[in-house]
Amino acid sequence: MVNSKRVAEKVVSDLPSKEVGSSLPKGDSSSRRKPSQDRSKERMEKILAATEACILEVGAANLKISDIAAASGMANASVYQYFSNREEIIQALLERYLDYFHEQNTQLLTPVDSVEAFLVYLEDVVYGYHDYVKSNATYRAIWMDSQGWAELRAIDRKDNMRLAHVWVEKVRELVPDVKADKALNVFLTCIETGAHMTRVSVEIGGRVERIMMEEMIAMVQGHLRTFFSHH
Buried b (16+ CB within 10 A) or exposed e, 27-58: eebeeeebbeeeeeeebbbbbbbbbbbbbbbe
Mean pLDDT of the residues in the chain: 84
Using one digit for the tens of pLDDT, what is the confidence trace for 41-95?
A: 889 999 999 999 999 998 888 899 999 999 999 999 999 999 999 999 999 999 9
**pLDDT confidence band for 224 (50 / 70 / 90):** very high
| pLDDT confidence of residue 143 | 80
SS3 category, 165:
helix
| pLDDT confidence of residue 116 | 95
| pLDDT confidence of residue 223 | 92
Give the residue among 37, 106, 46 at the shortest CA–CA distance from 70.
Answer: 46
Mean pLDDT of 135-154: 82
Task: Give the integer Cα–Cα distance in Å for 141 and 139.
Answer: 5
Give the residue among 98, 137, 121 at the shortest CA–CA distance from 174.
Answer: 121
| pLDDT confidence of residue 21 | 37
| pLDDT confidence of residue 13 | 38
| pLDDT confidence of residue 34 | 54
Angle formed by the axes of helices 115-135 and 137-146, to 10°? 90
3-state helix, strand, coil in the chain (%, to 5): 75, 0, 25
Using one digit for the tens of pLDDT, what is the confidence trace for 171-188?
A: 999 999 999 999 999 999
Task: List the domain boundaries for the chain.
Answer: 4-87, 111-229
Question: 60: which DSSP letter?
Answer: S
